[in-house]
A and B are shown apart, each in its own frame.
Chain A
């Protein structure tokens, strides 16, 4: 398992349009919908906020790492996936005698964002969609890491969950959150590096100041890693949810000035 580098970051959450806004820590109430220019406008009419969140952070991370969105492989992760689309279809199923919107149905799959972004960017390279429940971040990072280990090059990892709509809203208390990491097999000089994937009984104490509602998202464990990268804080970082065995990785940070992408 070779070390990999982080070449760029992406983040979107209501109030936070990108990594810069997150770092400044001042939420903007006008930020409610991700712009997501990677999904073309015709297809965006049928895409969910969840899919647009993923597309938005993929674009941010790719730009930050100067990667071409038309060719970079992508790994998407989520626990709830297209849950808003599912609830819309359930209403149609039971209130409209099974007459479902074909557009909604084809965008209800867990890999809808993967498909929409690949179509919008004409990207025919590798893409996949992972689900790991509250361990979706560590599962998706492992899938991306293994892909880099096998093929080299670069991979964009994007993990997100939107809020669950009624009547499933009572099941989760998280806020919408998407994070992305541009991961590189060959660390360029000065780039933060990830190494030492391991399973431990307890994780290192949290360092990032993260609201509980974001930490509860399946993408929440990614914020701990994102914060360590942004702060160029070397050391072990836990990337698992609170319960159960803890996956820990080491962040290695060469001493250089931060680049324009904050990495």
Chain B
């Protein structure tokens, strides 16, 4: 399916152009946390202030929806054109999120503990509920097709690509706006700290000195249509389950390997057709070890591998969609960014980790996302000839 529009906002910038320019320049967006924390870490926060939603959508206003709105405004003309082309009933919205509007609920809960009352401005259904932001987009763009969220933690907005493919293949819609969105929350940061996998410094994916993740925030969208002019297309998606532990990957990388194999098979291609892997690469000891084993089992050191977590932090439910945009950019620019923080690369990691930006012919790119609960997804994008 052709990818006819896309956008991303995150710690690298407030527009897709800005985000991709800083990615190309090798600049990290990581920095101090804007949230009050008792722990030491760095985060990927969106730079600058976020404007409130337009007055007609004020009921949905919260940090999450403001982030999402910023990214949505860029693809909105294409989404409205798709609704005009296919009909408003024939365009779906399938988004990924891990936290929804939890940041707003944190504020309301703190106020309740202090005063005994939930603030009158707090509205769970429109601010926190995972479905709220998709409802807002549907209303704003006049869409009447199916709208829902895939929430499988950090694989959420990779799995939406599979849902979109199936909905179009089944014939219920002709276009799907997919995407991912998550904002920084105190609970997420403290939660990863409680698991002992939050780094106090900029993360170092696949590095010998890696010691954990950084959390980021952002939103990304991609419009998939049954037909259309586009440089890049969605070729296949592979999903798998580790069935091993809630928060650690199966150590041989079996689930990750199966996801990549299924994505390639779904596209009717072979492993030889893959030119590059945008890895999940969170910089935890266990993820990077298992993922590199999985990639090595399929590709040895033939394909260059990058993790972009050192630019944005780990965007959780928005990671998959954000890294789809990065993979799409690699295909369009024929260039792979460096994995910030990787050097010196862990000698146990035998795959070809890209440590300085590389220009080379790229036809197909796999993008991996793995999650709590052992939920894995790999998405294959291709450059159209």
A residues near B (Cβ < 8 Å) are: 1, 43, 79-81, 86-87, 89-90, 93-95, 97-102, 105-112, 114-116, 118-119, 121-133, 135-136, 138-140, 142-143, 145-147, 149-150, 167-168, 170-171, 197, 199, 245
Contacts and interface: CB of A to CB of B under 8 A. Distances in A.
Contacts of A102: 191, 194-196, 247
A81 B372 CA distance: 15
B241 A94 contact: no
A89 B188 CA distance: 10
Contact of A139 (B38, B118, B146): B146
B55 interface: no
Nearest to B112: A167
Contacts of A131: 100, 129-131, 148-151
Contact of B38 (A97, A107, A110, A149): A97
A119 B151 contact: no
A150 B170 contact: yes
Interface string B101-112: 010011001101
Contacts of B109: 87, 90, 94, 167
Nearest to B114: A94
Contacts of A122: 243
B58 interface: no
Contacts of A107: 246
Contact of A106 (B102, B151, B247): B247
Contacts of A124: 240-243, 254-255, 258
Nearest to A133: B131
B126 to A, nearest CB: 10
B131 A135 contact: yes
Interface of B: 37-39, 89, 98, 100, 102, 105-106, 109-110, 112-113, 118, 124-125, 129-132, 135, 144, 146-153, 159, 163, 165-167, 169-172, 186-187, 190-196, 239-247, 254-255, 258, 371-375
Contacts of A99: 190, 194
Nearest to A164: B124
B243 A81 contact: no
A134 B86 CA distance: 26
A115 B375 contact: yes
B331 to A, nearest CB: 25
B246 A133 contact: no
Nearest to A103: B246
B106 A93 contact: yes
A32 B247 CA distance: 29
Given A142-B172, A167-B109, A132 B149 contact: yes
Contacts, number: 197
A206 B176 CA distance: 31
Contacts of A199: 89, 144
Chain B CB within 10 A, most for which of A123, A143, A147, A170: A143
A126 B239 contact: yes
A114 B375 contact: yes
Q: Closest 9 interchain pairs by CB?
A: A115-B373, A133-B131, A139-B148, A110-B151, A105-B191, A131-B130, A146-B166, A106-B247, A132-B148
A110 B195 contact: no
A232 to B, nearest CB: 27
Given A90-B109, A114-B152, A119-B374, A128 B239 contact: yes
A122 B113 CA distance: 41
Nearest to B39: A98
A109 B129 CA distance: 13
Given A115-B372, A167-B118, A98 B37 contact: yes
Contact of B118 (A126, A127, A142, A170): A170
Contact of B243 (A86, A119, A140): A119
A99 B148 CA distance: 33
B258 A101 contact: no
A190 B144 CA distance: 35
Given A94-B113, A110-B151, A124-B255, 11 more contacts: A89-B187, A102-B191, A102-B194, A109-B152, A112-B246, A119-B246, A126-B240, A128-B159, A133-B129, A146-B169, A150-B170
Contact of A81 (B151, B165, B371, B374): B151
Given A79-B131, A93-B106, A133-B132, A109 B151 contact: yes
A102 B118 CA distance: 27
A99 B105 CA distance: 18
Contact of A119 (B100, B170, B244): B244
Nearest to B126: A133
A184 to B, nearest CB: 16
A136 B146 CA distance: 11
